Amino acid sequence: MKQRVLITGLGIVCSCGNDIQSFSRSLSESKSDFSEITDPRLLNFTGKYAGFIKNFTFSNIERLKEFSHLDTHILFAVEAAFQAVRDAEIPLIEYEFSKQTGLFFATCSGPMQTIEKYYEQIQSDETVKNQDNRFFRKYYSAMKILCHLLEIKGLSTTITTACSASTAAIGIASDLIGQGILKAAIVGGSDTFSPSTLAGFDGLKATCSTICAPFSRPVGMNLGEGSGFIVLENMQNALNRGAKIYGEILGFGMSNDAYHSSAPDASGRGQALAMLRALSNSNLSPLDITYINAHGTGTVTNDSSETKAMYRVFNESISQIGISSTKSMVGHCLGAAGIIEVIASILCARNRFFPPTVGFKEPREGCTLDYIPDTGRKWDGNRVFMKNSFAFGGNNVSIIISSDCDKYSDNDKAENQEYEEICISGCGIISSAGAGVHSLISAVEKNENYCNDELFFNGLPFNVARIKKSRIEDIDRRLDLRNIDAASYFATIAAKLAIHESQFPERKKTLSNLGLYLSIPSGSTFTESEYISGLVKNNFKLRRIQNFPAIVPNSISGNVCRILGIRGHNCMFCGGHHSGIINIGLAVSAIKAGHTDSILCGASDELLTHSFSPHSIAAVKINLHENEN
C-alpha cells in the first residue's frame, strides 16, 4: 500500500533565526546574516565570514541541562528536533506510535569540534584519560542521543553523504512511510563551523573573501552552521489527528557523478540525472515545477555545472522557473544545508514569496538563468518546488515537494501497489581470511584463526585480524586503486566481487543504473587522523589539501562509484556496527519505491589504533582468548 507522505512539523536553528518565526521573518525581509571569523588561527585564510549562530539557548527543555557539555552539532540538533516535534504535536509519548516512528539524522562533519579537541589533547601531550568521549567522536552520536531524548523506538540511522545528506534523509524516510514500514519520522541534519572544515575548503580555493553571492560575484562560498528538522507522517495519520500540514513529499532522485572526490562533473550529467529521477519518481513533468532552490554554493564549478544540469532537464521551460540560492542568507551549512533550504522553501511557498539570491548583482560566465536577484518576488502558479543538493564524492540528490496544502482530504486512499520479489544475486567479501565468500567459508569450516598481527595500546600487545593486500590485489588489475584509503580499497574490491558473482552486465550503461548503499560503523578513518593531526601540529596551516576530501565519510562510496563507474541510486550511512544490516532493509525499500532495479548494499571498515578504548580492547582480548580455547 503506497501512502502519501506529509510534512507536519518544522524546527530550525541557523544564523538567520533560532526558531521558525524568526527565520521566516528573515526570509520575508531578504535578510542575510554573516559574521566575521575572529579565531586567530584562521586569519591567514581567504574566507573571512561565516553564518554563525548567535544567542543560542534551549527553548525551555528541562532535560537538556545534563547535555550542555556535548558537541555543538548535537545541541543544535536537539533544539531543532524538539521544535519540530512540538510544532507537529505528534504523540511520541504513546508507545505504539513511538515504535512506529523513525529518526533519520544527517551530517557532513559531525562532531568535528570534539574530534579537533581530541587531537589537540594528543598534540599537547595531554593524557586522554576520559575515554567516554570516544562515543561523542562518532558520527552517529547525535542520532543515538536524539532517539534517547525523544524516546523514538522505530528504525533510526545516520546519513553521511556530506552536503546532500539531509535532503537524502528526507527522501529515504518518505519511502519507508509511503510503504507503511513507519507511520512517522523525525528527519533532520546538523553541522557546526570548525577550523579544520574552513581550512579544507580554503585549501580547495572555494571560499569567498567577502559575503558570497551565488551565480554572481564575488566568487566563492561562506560556510554556515545550523540544524533543521521536519516531521513526516503518512497522510491518513496526519488527517486523523487534525495535524497542521506544511506540504507533501512528491518524490526524489539520487545519483553519483562517478567523477572526482571533490569536484562536480562540469557537464552537469550526474546532477541532471538526479533531477530527472526526481521528476520520474514524482510522476511530474518539468512544466509542473515553479521554483528550484538551487544547491548554489557560489563556487565557479558548482554554479556552472548546476546551471548546465538545469538546462539539460528543463530545456526552454527553465526560463519560466524561479531559481535562487538561500545559501546567500545563511551560508553553506554542509550536511544541514538541504533541510534548512527545504524549510526555507516551504515557508516562502506558504507566503507565496520567492526567496532571493541575496547579493546577486550580475551573472557570472555560464550562469544565465533567472536567479531571483537580491530581493524576492511574488510566487505565482502552483507551489511545487525542487530542492537540489550536491556533495563531495559525487553524491547528488533532488527532491520535489508540494506546498499546496488544500489538496488533502479524508477521501484520499492509499494506493494498492504490488511488489515483485527481491532477491540477493551476488555476494562479495574481503576479510583477513582473504577475498571472496569461499575464503571465509573455508576459514570457518577449518576453524582457522586469522588474527595475524599485533596492535599495541599503552605498551600492551593485542592480537588483531588485518587484511593482507597480497591476498586480494590480483582480483582485477584493471581497477585503479591508487591513492585511496583502506576502507575504500576494501569496499571497491568487495563490490567488484559482488557484481561479478551476480553476473551483472559490467557495461557503462548498465552500471549507470546500478545503485549503491554503503555504510561505515562510526566515521573515523586513518585519513581523518592524518589530516587533523597535521593541522593541529602546524597551527592550522594547511600542508596536504588532498587529505581533506577523504575525511568526509562518503568519500568511500565516492571512490567505489568513481572506480567502478556506478551512477545509480546512491547513499552513504554511518549508524553503528549494525549499519550494514540496516542497509539491506533500506536497499529493499529503494527497489520497492522504483528508484532502481539493482543495488549494491554493503559495509566497510578499517582497523584504527586511535578508535580503541581500554574497555573495547579488553573485550577484544577476552573474546580472542575464548576463541582460542
Helices (H) and strands (E) in the chain, counts: 20, 22
Q: Residue 593 has what DSSP assignment?
A: T
Q: Cβ neighbours of residue 482 under 8 Å, at least 6 residues apart? A: none
* 447 Cβ contact partners less than 8 Å away, ≥ 6 residues apart: none
Active site amino acids: 163, 295, 332
Q: Are the C-beta atoms of residues 13 and 76 closer than 8 Å to each other?
A: yes
Cα 75 to Cα 145, 171, 189, 192, 493, distances in angstroms? 10, 24, 12, 10, 39
Whose CA is closest to 163, among 514, 554, 487? 554
Give 622's DSSP letter: H
Query: In this structure, what C-alpha cell is assigned to residue 557?
Result: 562510496
Q: Looking at this protein, which amino acid is placed at residue 258?
A: A
Q: What angle do CA 340, 341, 346 make, to 5 degrees?
A: 100
* CA 538/CA 201 separation, integer angstroms: 17
Distance of CA 494 to the CA centre of its chain: 23
Residue 244 phi/psi, 5-degree rounding, is -70, 135
Q: How far is CA 254 from CA 71, 112, 270, 395, 514, in A?
A: 30, 26, 9, 7, 11
Alpha-carbon distance of 239 to 249, in angstroms, equals: 16
* 3-state SS, residue 137: coil
Residue 502 buriedness (CB in 10 A; 0-12 / 13-18 / 19+): middle
For 55, other C-beta atoms within 10 Å of its C-beta total 5
Read off the DSSP letter of residue 182.
-
DSSP string covering 497-561: HHHHHTT---SHHHHTT-EEEEE-SS---HHHHHHHHHHHHTTT--S-GGGTGGGSTTHHHHHHH
Spatial neighbors of 18 by CB under 8 A, at least 6 apart, are 12, 53, 55, 56, 57, 79
**How many Cα atoms sit within 13 Å of 395 on the Cβ side?**
35
